Amino acid sequence: MVGLFERQAATWNAGDAAGYAACFTLDAEYVTWVGTRYRGRADIERSHAALFRRFLRGTTMRWEIISVRTLAGGTAVVLTRGDVAKPRPRRLTRVQTYVVVDSPEGLQVASFHNTRRRPLIESLSFRAAPQTRPAG
């Protein structure tokens, strides 16, 4: 599992859109932290080629696995904390949800959703309504 995420980060850090997209299944779903939805590996590659040429040029990806929940049939739901920045993110300000599948090409991402954390709003919510704080 770690190898998939290491490969994903290495291709991102190299600005390699084709290599990055190869981490995903042909029919992958990909939702960015701003809510943009990409469908399929080709869409992920095309969009990231443009992003790596412009807005994401020179960025570095950092990540850490929060949890892995194995499901049937070689499928797992993986939560990570991560971020990208120039030259390197200091804090991991986003949470990602991955559905990882065991495919003929090895482990690949079938679905990805990136969410930006809002620690201040989260803290205020927990103070105002303590019962909303997660148990774990």
pLDDT band at 120 (very low <50, low <70, confident <90, very high): confident
Mean pLDDT (the chain) is 93
Share of the chain above pLDDT 70, in %: 100
CATH of domain 2-131: 3.10.450.50
What pLDDT, in 10s, does the model give residues 48-95?
A: 999 999 999 999 999 999 999 999 989 999 999 998 888 877 888 899
List the one residue out of 81, 54, 59 whose CA is nearest residue 11.
59
Predicted confidence at residue 31, as pLDDT, reads: 97
Q: Where are the domains of the chain?
A: 2-131
Across 89-126, b (16+ Cβ under 10 Å) vs e yields beebebbbebbbbeeeeebbbbbbbbeeeeeeeeeeee
Contact 44, 20 (CB under 8 A): yes
The number of beta carbons lying within 10 Å of the beta carbon of residue 133 is: 11
Note if the pTM is more than 0.85.
yes
